Amino acid sequence: MRRGVVLVLLSLLLFPTIVGAKEAASWEQERMYFIMVDRFVDGNPDNNAQVDKDDPKAFHGGDIRGVIEKLDYIESLGFTSVWLTPVFENMPDGYHGYWIKDFYNIDPQFGTKEDLQELVDEAHKRDMKVILDFVVNHVGPKHPWVEERPDWFHDELPIVLWNDQEQVETHWLFDLPDFKTEDPEVKDYLLDAATYWIEETGIDGYRLDTVRHVDKPFWEDFVKAVRAVDPDFYLLAEVFDPDPQYVAEYDDLGFNSITNFTFYDRVSKTMTQKSASVDEIDVAASYAETFFNDPNQMATFLDNHDVERFMHVAELGGAESAERRLRLGLFALYASPGMPIVFQGTENAQKGGADPANRAMTDFPGNEELHEYVTMMNRMREEYPVFATGEQRMIASKDGMAVFERRDGDDVALYAINMNAEDREIEFEVSEVGEDTRLRGLLFSQLVTDKRGTFTIKLAGESANAYIVEESEVNMWTIGLLVIAIPIFLTGLVMWKRRKSAS
């Protein structure tokens, strides 16, 4: 009996104990794929009346049917939700969806209400969520309502002083008729339209466009209205400004999440430059921690339909390999606090400058090697929720290489990034993480062990790795038990042999 107990003890002591992962909150654990519907997939050529592929500012044929056809593709990459640009009926040439004409109809170029319902149903079968873009700030240019219902709109004045909040909220953005959202009749119309699509289709959330251009009381009423229909309805607010202190003014209005343009400005832009500062990751996280209620609920991204694509900027910035930098950017996106959003085509290393060059149709089958990397990033987030829920802290930084900790209670992970073209290594005290621990690499096999109280992480040039912190196979407690257990085991073995010989 004693021998069996000792062997069981030895087996438990000599194998590592992996820290258990805590289940993450629903939306911070999401991985979102952003689709500009007209520039994704043409699933129904019969609705291409306005298509002119030679004109970069005309419809190119993408539709809701095309999104349905690619749900398996999106799911295979590891995404859990899709965000679509507005699909409501637009004014002529409103291929992007933001020039809305009728909030209660689907644009014929994109399909039908039945198509949208089918998309939601098919996504839900795959345990995926559907987010629709919703615009309340304005309608499309030359909208007939400007003459028919002039009281619904602010006076036609351009925004001249962008730091004047009154102008930002009441003047016309790029010549688009600006709704007088403080007017009760306008507010009722927009709130009714928003609740209509929730009730009719069962969509899971809205990405709210141009939030900073609409008065805050309207948003408080909007949140109450949609939550009255669905208490779990997701609201992602786009506040297009890199100043975290300004953006934080919208953090108490009831939205689930706000777009983190500070991350884009400090991290994405930096990582496209020839000499990139890895410390900007810490700067962005510190801003989010300082100004926002929950940094993990912020929505992070490398590029989108309103800015130049990451690959384009990296090539202009002089990066030796724009695609290698894109991988580093994606790694930072997934390892850092915030819900990651990937714009269609980024998984193909798609290029493109300013609008409309950044909105070209997505290529299929695309860059399959990069697909594998994106899939790996999504799997890392899924299997290790600490990357979605943990607080971030920079442990060490030296010569363009840094190590960060993500910690949620007892659930701890690290990640390291080397922004240099050359191989680098960095040291830090084991006590920064916890005694009697080791680091197990996730992206590629790498076991980092305690060397005289120090961890040393080595990375090739322009590479990164994530690490799970786990108990060492043999620690001082283990050694102490072995000192006691082994003599007992040996004494028992000698006594057993003597009895056997005597018999």
Residue with tokens 């930098």: 325
At residue 10 the predicted structure's pLDDT band, cuts being 50, 70 and 90, is very low
- Per-residue pLDDT band for 499 (boundaries 50, 70, 90) equals low
The closest alpha carbon to 103, from 40, 39, 36, 195, belongs to: 195
pLDDT tens per residue across span 23-71: 334 789 999 999 999 999 999 999 999 999 999 999 999 999 999 999 9
Domain with CATH 3.20.20.80 in the chain: 27-389
Res 481 pLDDT > 60: no
Report the C-alpha gap between 226 and 222 in whole angstroms: 6
Work out the pLDDT band at 472, boundaries 50, 70, 90.
confident
Query: What's the chain's average pLDDT?
Result: 91
Candidates 456, 454, 369, 464; CA nearest to 420 is: 464
CATH number of the domain located at residue range(s) 27-389 in this protein: 3.20.20.80
- What's the pLDDT score for residue 490? 56
- The helix (H) or strand (E) run that includes residue 104 is strand 100-106
Angle at 204 between CA 202 and CA 209, to 5 degrees: 120
What single-letter amino acid sits at 502?
A
Write phi, then psi, for 224 (nearest 5 degrees): -60, -40
Among candidate residues 150, 157, 132, the one with its CA nearest the CA of residue 67: 132
Q: Could you tell me which CATH class the domain 392-471 is placed in? A: mainly beta
Q: What is the pLDDT of residue 9?
A: 32
Cβ atoms of 104 and 193 closer than 8 Å: yes
- List all residues 6 or more positions away from 221 whose beta carbon is below 8 Å from its beta carbon: 187, 191
Considering only 143-147, 209-213, 272-276, which range has the smallest mean pLDDT? 272-276
Q: How far apart are CA 470 and CA 184, in angstroms?
A: 58
Question: Does the pLDDT value for residue 3 go beyond 50?
Answer: no
Q: By percentage, how much of the chain surpasses pLDDT 90?
A: 87
Q: Looking at the predicted structure, is the pLDDT value of residue 501 above 60? A: no
* Mean pLDDT to the nearest integer, 468-485: 62
Residues 6+ apart with CB under 8 A from 8: none
Any idea which residue has 């290594």 for tokens? 425
User: Looking at this protein, which amino acid is placed at residue 215?
Assistant: D
Q: Is the dihedral of CA 360, 362, 363, 367 positive or negative?
A: positive
Q: What is the pLDDT of residues 219-232, one digit of tens each?
A: 999 999 999 999 99
Phi, psi (degrees; rounded to nearest 5) at 399? 50, 50
Of the candidates 410, 262, 409, 235, the one whose C-alpha atom is nearest the C-alpha of residue 336 is 262
Residue span(s) of the chain under CATH 2.60.40.1180 come to 392-471
